[in-house]
């Protein structure tokens, strides 16, 4: 990627991180959460996945081998997907409001949010993050990007299963109906 595009990708992901940091101040008190070991495993996989996508440390050996030619139009398309994915994740994060947490939790006065992006996907934050990661991987075009994307998908699948279990326990009547109406990640498909 060219230096200006590298900076643009960094600004997009940093902007998303800033929204997450500011949002921490507005979360409700946690009543119940996932155990520490699965949380640490998830965090490690997400951290490693994002590092694979964006860090030059992994551009060695087979991880640095290109699977796509370096092409400016492809990089711009990747940036557009990254921006769209991050904006979708931010929309979902803002819609979730005080119910959000970095771990699978039930908050005090937890509400089942089914509006906005949650009317399109049960886990729209992950939808947005994965769309952004696909865009970044497309622009990067190296083996490390595919491995990073794979780690993110795996981490989000694991965390989604924990969140689904907690929501089924917390909303035993409403959540099964919501699951029937709304797909987990991709509207109408998955």
Calculate ∠ Cα 96-98-100, nearest 5°. Answer: 60
The answer to the question of residue 9 being in a domain is: no
The pLDDT of residue 174 is 97
| Total of domains in the chain | 1
The answer to the question of residue 23 being in a domain is: no
pLDDT in tens, the chain (190 residues): 555 888 899 999 999 999 999 999 999 999 998 888 888 999 999 999 999 998 888 888 888 899 888 899 999 999 999 999 999 999 999 999 999 998 889 999 999 999 999 999 999 999 999 999 999 999 999 999 999 999 999 999 999 999 999 999 999 999 999 999 999 999 878 8
* Radius of gyration from C-alpha coordinates of the chain: 17
The range of the structural domain enclosing residue 139 comes to 35-181
The pLDDT of residue 93 is 97
The answer to the question of residue 1 being in a domain is: no
- Global confidence as pTM: 0.94
The answer to the question of residue 40 being in a domain is: yes
Q: Are 144 and 118 in contact (CB under 8 A)?
A: no
The pLDDT of residue 187 is 85
The pLDDT of residue 3 is 58
The answer to the question of residue 25 being in a domain is: no
Supply the CATH number for residue 126's domain.
1.20.120.1630
DSSP E strands in the chain: the ranges are: 30-33, 105-107
Helices (H) and strands (E) in the chain, counts: 6, 2
């Amino acid at each position: 990627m060219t230096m200006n595009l590298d900076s643009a990708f960094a600004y997009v992901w940093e902007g998303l991180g800033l929204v997450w940091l500011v949002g921490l101040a507005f979360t409700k008190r946690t009543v119940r959460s996932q155990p520490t070991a699965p949380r640490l495993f998830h965090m490690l996989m997400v951290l490693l996945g994002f590092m694979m996508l964006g860090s030059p440390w992994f551009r060695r050996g087979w991880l640095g081998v290109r699977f796509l030619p370096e092409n400016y139009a492809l990089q711009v398309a990747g940036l557009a997907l990254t921006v769209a994915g991050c904006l979708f994740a931010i929309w979902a994060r803002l819609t979730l409001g005080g119910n959000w947490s970095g771990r699978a939790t039930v908050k005090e006065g937890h509400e089942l949010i089914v509006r906005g992006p949650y009317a399109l996907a049960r886990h729209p934050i992950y939808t947005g993050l994965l769309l952004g990661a696909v865009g970044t991987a497309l622009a990067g075009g190296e083996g490390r990007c595919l491995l990073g994307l794979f780690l993110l998908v795996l981490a989000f699948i694991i965390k989604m299963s924990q969140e689904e279990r907690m929501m089924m326990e917390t909303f035993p009547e409403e959540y099964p109906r919501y699951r029937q109406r709304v797909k987990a990640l991709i509207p109408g498909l998955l």
